[in-house]
């Protein structure tokens, strides 16, 4: 789709020139600008006062060398990043990703998305993302620790409980957050809420581990209910088998669904009897193993090499919870042909743009990532609140707040889509609603 507004078309051309080669960032910016065209036409002040110019340029990009020593005594060097996209509505907030596919392009795209997502939570958090091309897979705990200490030895200069609060993402879970936190404390002497997703013994929040997956299901439940549907008795396919996938599986099952498939980057398991989640937790959370091991102890299940094939399994509801671009146009078409009526995104941007359009054209209920997976960062913000208060809430309190937030996000984006003439297009609704709050805060704060 081309941008019709001449100013936005020109802005996009300049963004393309300035970020040449950053394919994922450009796709994301274009898609957001397309969604917010009607907003900008209604609010010319966003153009006149320079809000749009500032919005598409990250406030700060930090790239650094991360040297560390492996168990064999060899020096290894990775690349670290922190992109602080926007601080109009609060301190920068967003996860750290450790995966070989991490580049500046990926971190910039995730930081840009995070700004809008964090706005949708209604909580006072700006947008950021960071990470490294380090691969924790196959590394010993001591290697992961040395890497995390080296990463934090640079990162600590750029973060703080009131400036920028990182958390986990792909490849960064409780173990990594612990090592990162320990090193921050050692370097600064401050015992503060500078990271979220912390362990429960040192300032973490109950329900943060579950929050993204649970939140995804709360959002999806509300979206389904408005269409007269529910998780009850639905067949669900979930990609990934990490933090988001596991707790999406747990909540969807609690809500009456039968989850029949999970995956990792090597392949997928299909268990028509319904996934035995205790076994998955043992494999993934305790042993750091591969999803194929599930089929070794479950005769009802089959394991297939290659992760994209998971979308050929017939289902009512698909919850992509692995990574970006994991649902191609072809996979989207297969899901539609097989009768899937709802796709809700636990991962960040798992569906390619053409795939999203195919879902919308086919009348599939589509929950976009920045709304559907906002429960993780929302609960991170609740962790920040608890840290500031120096107290901790019960699981039930946090879970109830999470559910309220996710239900609220659905109604906010549904209303925004309706108000701006794209009823039922929650992708556009999320971009519009997320943008409006950020743009108004930027307008109020001037050229900064």
**Residues taking part in catalysis:** 129
* Residue for token pair 């960032």: 25
What are phi and psi for residue 443, nearest 5 degrees? -60, -45
Concatenated DSSP letters of 304-331: EESSGGGGGS--SEEE--S-TT-B-HHH
CB 155 within 8 A of CB 80: yes
Comparison of 90 and 267: residue with beta carbon closer to ligand 2IT: 90
Length in residues, the chain: 448
Choose the contact partner of 429 out of ligand 2IT, ligand NDP, none; CB within 5 to 8 A by kind: none
Comparison of 11 and 321: residue with beta carbon closer to ligand NDP: 321
- Reported as type and span, the H/E element at residue 318 is strand 317-319
Question: How far is residue 421 from each of residues 152, 205, 355, measured CA to CA in Å?
Answer: 46, 39, 21
Q: Is 196 in the site for ligand 2IT (CB under 6 A)?
A: yes
Choose the contact partner of 82 out of ligand 2IT, ligand NDP, none; CB within 5 to 8 A by kind: none
Residue 25: CB minimum distance to ligand 2IT, A: 15
SS3 (DSSP) at 135 = coil
**Residues with Cβ within 8 Å of residue 225, at least 6 apart in sequence:** none
Q: Is 380 in the site for ligand 2IT (CB under 6 A)?
A: yes
Q: Which residues bind ligand NDP (CB under 6 A)?
A: 99, 101, 168-171, 173, 212, 240-245, 264-266, 307, 321-323, 346-348, 373, 376
Stretch that binds ligand 2IT, among 61-69, 264-272, 279-287, 372-380 (CB under 6 A): 372-380
433/152 Cα distance (integer angstroms): 34
Q: Is 99 in the site for ligand 2IT (CB under 6 A)?
A: no
State the number of binding residues for ligand 2IT (CB under 6 A). Answer: 12
Q: Is 149 in the site for ligand 2IT (CB under 6 A)?
A: no
**Residues with Cβ within 8 Å of residue 298, at least 6 apart in sequence:** 269, 271, 273, 276, 279
Choose the contact partner of 243 out of ligand 2IT, ligand NDP, none; CB within 5 to 8 A by kind: ligand NDP
Considering only residues 348, 351, 412, 431, which one is a binding residue for ligand 2IT as defined by CB under 6 A? 348
Tokens of residue 320, six digits: 């992509």
Choose the contact partner of 307 out of ligand NDP, ligand 2IT, none; CB within 5 to 8 A by kind: ligand NDP
Residue 12: CB minimum distance to ligand 2IT, A: 24
38/45 Cα distance (integer angstroms): 13
Choose the contact partner of 270 out of ligand 2IT, ligand NDP, none; CB within 5 to 8 A by kind: none
Comparison of 53 and 285: residue with beta carbon closer to ligand NDP: 285
Q: How far apart are the first and last CA of the chain?
A: 32
Concatenated DSSP letters of 216-251: HHHHHHHHHHHTT--STT-EEEE---SHHHHHHHHH
Residue 97: CB minimum distance to ligand 2IT, A: 8
Spacing of C-alpha 41 from chain mean position: 29
Considering only residues 83, 167, 252, 342, which one is a binding residue for ligand 2IT as defined by CB under 6 A? 167
Stretch that binds ligand 2IT, among 2-10, 78-86, 303-311, 373-381 (CB under 6 A): 373-381
Residue 376: CB minimum distance to ligand NDP, A: 3
Residue 243: CB minimum distance to ligand NDP, A: 4
Which residues in the 101-120 window bind ligand 2IT by CB under 6 A?
114, 117
Considering only residues 349, 377, 406, 432, which one is a binding residue for ligand 2IT as defined by CB under 6 A? 377
Of the candidates 98, 22, 125, 45, the one whose C-alpha atom is nearest the C-alpha of residue 434 is 125
Q: Is 93 in the site for ligand 2IT (CB under 6 A)?
A: yes
Comparison of 240 and 267: residue with beta carbon closer to ligand 2IT: 240
Choose the contact partner of 196 out of ligand NDP, ligand 2IT, none; CB within 5 to 8 A by kind: ligand 2IT
The sign one gets for the Cα dihedral 293, 296, 298, 299 is positive
Torsion of CA 15, 18, 22, 26, to 10 degrees: 0
Phi-psi region of 69 (alpha: psi -120 to 50; beta: other; left: phi over 0): beta
- Strand ranges of the sheet holding 126-132, from the earlier edge strand across to the other edge: 60-69, 75-86, 126-132, 92-98, 164-167
Choose the contact partner of 260 out of ligand NDP, ligand 2IT, none; CB within 5 to 8 A by kind: none
Q: Which residues bind ligand 2IT (CB under 6 A)?
A: 93-95, 114, 117, 167, 169, 196, 348, 376-377, 380
């Amino acid at each position: 789709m081309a941008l019709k507004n001449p100013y936005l078309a020109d802005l996009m051309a300049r963004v393309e020139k300035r970020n040449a080669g950053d394919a994922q960032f450009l796709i994301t910016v274009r898609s957001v600008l397309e969604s917010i065209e009607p907003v900008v036409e209604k609010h010319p002040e966003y153009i006149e006062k320079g809000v749009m110019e500032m919005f598409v340029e990250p406030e700060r990009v930090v790239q650094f060398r991360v040297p560390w020593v492996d168990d064999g005594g060899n020096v290894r060097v990775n690349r670290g990043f922190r992109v602080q996209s926007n601080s109009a509505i609060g301190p920068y907030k967003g996860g750290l990703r450790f995966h070989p596919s991490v580049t500046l392009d990926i971190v910039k795209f995730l930081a840009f998305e995070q700004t809008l997502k964090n706005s949708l939570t209604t909580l006072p958090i700006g947008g950021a993302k960071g990470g490294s091309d380090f691969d924790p897979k196959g590394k010993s705990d001591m290697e992961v620790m040395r890497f995390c200490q080296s990463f934090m030895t640079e990162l600590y200069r750029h973060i703080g409980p009131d400036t920028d609060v990182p958390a986990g993402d792909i490849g960064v879970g409780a173990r990594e957050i612990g090592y990162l936190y320990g090193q921050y404390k050692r370097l600064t002497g401050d015992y503060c809420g500078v990271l979220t997703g912390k362990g429960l013994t040192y300032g973490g929040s109950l329900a943060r581990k579950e929050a993204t997956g649970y939140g995804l299901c709360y959002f999806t439940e509300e979206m389904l209910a408005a269409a007269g549907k529910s998780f009850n008795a639905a067949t669900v396919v979930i990609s990934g088998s990490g933090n988001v996938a596991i707790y999406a599986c747990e909540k969807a099952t609690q809500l009456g669904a039968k989850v029949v498939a999970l995956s990792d980057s090597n392949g997928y398991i299909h268990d028509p009897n319904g996934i035995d989640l205790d076994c998955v937790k043992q494999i993934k959370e305790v042993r750091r193993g591969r999803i194929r091991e599930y089929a070794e102890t479950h005769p009802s299940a089959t394991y297939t090499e290659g992760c994209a094939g998971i979308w050929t399994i017939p289902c009512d509801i698909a919850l992509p919870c692995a990574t970006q671009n994991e649902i191609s146009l072809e996979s989207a078409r297969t899901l539609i042909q097989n009768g899937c009526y709802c796709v809700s995104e636990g991962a960040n941007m798992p569906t390619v743009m053409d795939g999203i359009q195919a879902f919308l054209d086919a009348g599939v209920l589509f929950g976009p990532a920045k709304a559907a997976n906002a429960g993780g960062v929302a609960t991170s913000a609740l962790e920040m609140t608890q840290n500031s208060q120096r107290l901790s809430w019960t699981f039930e309190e946090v879970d109830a707040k999470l559910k309220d937030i996710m239900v609220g996000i659905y109604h906010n984006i549904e209303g925004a889509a309706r108000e701006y003439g794209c009823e039922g297009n929650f992708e556009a609704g999320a971009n519009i609603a997320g943008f409006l709050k950020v743009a108004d805060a930027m307008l109020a704060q001037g050229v900064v």
